[in-house]
Amino acid sequence: MGWLGLDGARVLVMGAGGLGAACVRGLAEVGARVVVADVDQVKLKALVDEPELAAAEVRPLPADLTTSAACDAAVHAAAGQLGGLDTLVHAVGANDRRPIEEMPDEVWERILTLNLSTAFWAGRAAARLMRSAGGGSMVFFSSVSSQLAHPNHGPYAASKGGLDQLVKVMARETAATGITVNAVAPGYTETELTRDYLAKPGVREGMTDLVPAGRLGVPEDVVGSVLFLASPRAAFVTGQVLYVDGGRTLV
């Protein structure tokens, strides 16, 4: 995998859950040096202690990323530990499945903060560092929900639609500085975020029927796309949303 040019790359991954953890493993496999940030210290420790990461440089960074100051501090802490920052991977997110008419204000605000505001705050901080360093890459996790009108996904879909536009504007503003900004949009993927929902009678079968590939995604499905967009091989790719969905958005 040396052709990607990520050996020794200095990467901050925000989010140690299913998608973030898969990205950490993939980045470590190609020789990147990684700081992974999450509020859940148990999850962080479990990830960095995985036997397959024993020979890699993966450092935990406990952080509650739900404020501007915390995101800025996390970006600078990672850059300080790594001696700079080449790549930001934002894999932070939450959902709450209920109709809009039943959605409390605090849930709306919590999901938009976690899914969208943290991306804005972290991306802004990373862009400032990368601009002064002469370039870098950012990869954010969007979703097919940014394009499809799934019921009971009001704040989640709104946050991901907003994220797609944020990525495009940030890419437009930073393109001339050598920074690339892109998003990966998974289809329905089996993670901690979806486990309980998929366990309900008939849900897994119904969701699978919507996917031309005939199966739901797993976290490892997104890793190749993230590695490519993070790498120098994608230096002329910016402002794009890459759907990794088994064809879900085709139907």
pLDDT of residue 236: 98
Tokens found for residue 247: 């064809």
- Residue 228: CB partners within 8 Å, gap ≥ 6? 4, 234
Q: Produce one character per residue of 143-160: b if its CB has 16 or more CB atoms within 10 Å, e if not.
A: bbbbbeeeeebbbbbbbb
CA–CA gap between residue 51 and residue 49 (Å, rounded): 6
Q: Is the pLDDT of residue 222 over 90?
A: yes
Fill in the DSSP letter of residue 200.
Answer: S
pLDDT of residue 2: 85
- Helix 118-133 vs helix 154-174: crossing angle, to nearest 10: 10
Asked if 188 is an active-site residue, the reply is no
Tokens 């397959």 sit on residue: 52
CA–CA gap between residue 113 and residue 41 (Å, rounded): 21
* Averaged pLDDT for residues 10-30: 97
pLDDT of residue 192: 75
Using alpha carbons, list the distances in angstroms from residue 221 to 26, 184, 187. 11, 11, 10
* Averaged pLDDT for residues 209-236: 95
Helix (H, G, I), strand (E, B) or coil at 116: helix
pLDDT above 70 as % of the chain? 99
* Position with higher pLDDT, 251 vs 96: 96
CB 156 within 8 A of CB 116: no
pLDDT of residue 175: 98
* Position with higher pLDDT, 189 vs 75: 75
* Averaged pLDDT for residues 143-150: 93
* Position with higher pLDDT, 118 vs 188: 118
pLDDT of residue 189: 85
SS3 content of the chain, % helix, strand, coil (to 5): 50, 15, 35
Using alpha carbons, list the distances in angstroms from residue 68 to 15, 111, 181. 16, 15, 19
pTM of the model: 0.94
- For 22-32, the pLDDT digits (tens) are 999 999 999 99
- Catalytic choice (156, 188, 197, 243): 156
pLDDT above 90 as % of the chain? 89
Tokens found for residue 103: 């959605």
Q: Is the pLDDT of residue 194 over 80?
A: no
CB 64 within 8 A of CB 110: no
State the chain's mean pLDDT as an integer.
95
CATH numbers and ranges of domains, the chain:
2-246 (3.40.50.720)
In sequence order, what are the beta bridge partners of 238?
Answer: none
Q: In Å, how far from its chain's centre is CA 46?
A: 19
How would residue 1 be classed by pLDDT, with cut points 50, 70 and 90? low
Tokens 């797609």 sit on residue: 164
